[in-house]
């Protein structure tokens, strides 16, 4: 369970998890869209 106060105390809240999460999100969407659109390309 997320514990905001505890996470801030141990510095975890300063990890750029937002940016890392967005990188993963964009990579997954990129791969899915590219696959769907180019699936039948010869």
Footprint on this chain of other proteins (rule: CB under 8 A): 1-2, 4, 7, 12-23, 25-26, 29-30, 32-34, 36-39, 41
Q: How far is the CB of 27 from other proteins (least distance, A)?
A: 10
Of 9 and 13, the one with the shorter C-beta distance to other proteins is: 13
Q: How far is the CB of 9 from other proteins (least distance, A)?
A: 13
Angstrom distance (rounded) from CA 13 to CA 24: 19
């Amino acid at each position: 369970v997320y514990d905001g106060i505890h996470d801030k105390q141990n510095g975890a809240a300063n990890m750029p998890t937002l940016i890392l999460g967005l990188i993963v999100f964009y990579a997954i969407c990129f791969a899915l869209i590219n696959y769907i659109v180019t699936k039948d390309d010869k």
